[in-house]
Amino acid sequence: MTDILFGQSYYLYFDPKLYAAMQPYPPLGTLYAVSYMRARGWSAALFDAMLSAGPHEWDSALRQHTPRYAVIFEDNFNYLSKMSLLRMREAAFLMLDYAKARGSVTIACGADMTDHAELYLQRGADFVLIGEGEETLAELVAFLDAAGARSADNLPDGSGLYAIRGLAYHQNGQVIRTPARPVIRDLDSLPLPAWDMVDYAKYRSLWQAHHGYTSLNLVTTRGCPFHCNWCAKPIWGQKYSVRSPQNVVAEMRWLKDAFNPDHIWFMDDIMGIQDRWIEHFADELDAAGLRIPFKSLNRVDLLLRGRTIPALARAGAQIVWVGAESGSQKILDAMDKGTTVEQIYEATRQLHAHGVKVAFFLQFGYPGETRDDIELTLKMVRDLMPDDIGISVSYPLPGTPFYERVRHELGERANWHDSADLAMLYQGPFATAFYRQLHTVVHKDYRSRRMWASLRAALRKPANLRPAHIRQTAAMIYHWLTLPGARRELDRLARLPHDPTRLPNVTV
């Protein structure tokens, strides 16, 4: 019998867009929770939903481990966890059903659980951890174990349960929420994630088969102190905690020795907020003789401080993703982004000058955005030709000023089903069909230009031509030929009224 079985509800198999991309990463936040509890003497097992076929496999894990506590602890470093995708919420509910049927005490922790604790308590969670989770989980399990209790209803009022901060539970038919718990500030004090529980061979084979290399995930921070008004922060709020460069490099050395990954993804909301942190990080890597190519998420204004970009290049940055969002300063200001279009241009130029690729997150549909604003964003992409782009539409998340602004416009549906949904959930500037078609137009224009640049470079040295260039040429011609028709359809859809109750299926 195992004390705790940990799982999470993000199943790659249930997200068609990302399943096709096949870039799976272990649930890092869950691994931290496992290691935290093991360090306190509890036996633990891990169910990794990322590569699972569905919740029925969670049921098999419950049968195998017969845990006293079944804990759905979401990977809060995965941005999709904050989006509360309906398919994953449904999976979490089913996982709770299985765990209750097996007689385990059920505990849930994550962004969606924090935002909708009552919903999870109604669906079978005995307790919901509000916020970060590790410290609350440790106190809760120790308390229940000492009291011999399985739920709050097994405990008398005043039993001491309320003293555990960051907790929600049912008692006598009422939802009880205890005071909020401060976040962990000393991240170096945390044990490393429970990497030994990861089926790394399975991850490695998938990465090799689909991409020809392997990649693992790390974080250097928790949280973000900036105030973009559409960004939800249910776990860490405005708090920002950072590991020391030495601590991060030590984990990279451990991973290099244990798994030898070809690449690292730093999953931080923003890497390197503290002044000169990235410079010190590069120094530590140099001293350790360690270099693993990586991708990271950064802010354009912070990239332009001091010698941050040269330090990123020295540290091994392969590609940097930035929240460009829009090429319209009017929209960036409306978002309270705190960056400028000029900074996007300059950071992109400097990254490319130092041999670092750059990719843009683009966001369409923010209130007040016009076709002229959209065209400014498309112009920015054409001017700078980033090495990759990710496109989304503005998504109202609970707890954000943006959500409160459009809350009265939300219908019965307030979440996407999966990450490719692109549904407008509020009365945005245009209808859902428009933004799905815009996604098509932007990608056709961008991909054809990227392919042409690649082909033109190859033609300068005919010896470098490969069969792949023939396929690339065919795709490029297809995009060019179909782009005018796609633009005409976009113009037609721009004239339609926005009705959030009608979400037509438009090919993306």
pLDDT of residue 502: 46
Q: Is the pLDDT of residue 123 over 60?
A: yes
Q: 3-class SS at 70? A: strand
Q: What is the dihedral of CA 165, 166, 169, 175, to 10 degrees?
A: 100
pLDDT tens digits, one per residue of 440-481: 999 999 999 988 887 777 677 776 667 776 777 888 888 889
> Of 95, 112, 109, 115, which Cα lies nearest the Cα of 139?
109
Average per-residue pLDDT for the chain: 93
pLDDT of residue 505: 39
Least confident of 54-63, 150-159, 400-409, 427-436: 150-159
- Residue for token pair 């976009």: 490
276 backbone φψ class: left, alpha, beta (φ>0; ψ -120 to 50)? left
Is 4-177's fold the same as 213-393's?
Answer: no
pLDDT of residue 464: 66
Question: What is the identity of the amino acid at 29?
Answer: G
* Higher-scoring residue by pLDDT: 300, 461: 300
Percent of the chain exceeding pLDDT 70 equals 96
Stretch 34-44: mean pLDDT: 98
pLDDT of residue 508: 27
List Cβ neighbours of 409 (8 Å cut-off, separation of 6 or more).
426, 427, 500
Q: 3-class SS at 359? A: strand
Query: Is the domain covering 4-177 a CATH 3.40.50.2300 domain?
Result: yes
- Residue for token pair 């005919």: 462
- Residue for token pair 């690292």: 264
- Beta strands 127-129; 167-171: pairing state: antiparallel
> Of 404, 396, 378, 403, which Cα lies nearest the Cα of 326?
378
pLDDT tens digits, one per residue of 99-112: 999 999 999 999 99
Instruction: Count how many Cα atoms sit within 13 Å of the Cα of residue 194 in the half-sphere of its side chain.
Output: 23
pLDDT of residue 110: 97
* Higher-scoring residue by pLDDT: 444, 499: 444
Model confidence band, residue 400 (pLDDT cutoffs 50, 70, 90):
very high
Model confidence band, residue 501 (pLDDT cutoffs 50, 70, 90):
very low
- Residue for token pair 């005043």: 158
Tell me the H-state helices in 22-149: 28-38, 55-65, 79-83, 86-101, 111-115, 117-122, 134-147
Stretch 217-237: mean pLDDT: 95
Domain definitions of the chain by residue range: 4-177, 213-393
Query: Is the domain covering 213-393 a CATH 3.40.630.10 domain?
Result: no
Model confidence band, residue 414 (pLDDT cutoffs 50, 70, 90):
confident
Instruction: Count how many Cα atoms sit within 13 Å of the Cα of residue 149 in the half-sphere of its side chain.
Output: 19
pLDDT tens digits, one per residue of 181-221: 999 999 999 999 999 999 999 999 999 999 999 999 999 99
pLDDT of residue 311: 98
Q: Is the pLDDT of residue 137 over 90?
A: yes
pLDDT of residue 451: 87
pLDDT of residue 503: 42
* Higher-scoring residue by pLDDT: 333, 495: 333
Q: Is the pLDDT of residue 271 over 70?
A: yes
Stretch 338-364: mean pLDDT: 98
66 backbone φψ class: left, alpha, beta (φ>0; ψ -120 to 50)? left
Q: CA–CA separation, 328 vs 348, rounded Å?
A: 16
- Give me Rg for the CA atoms of the chain: 24
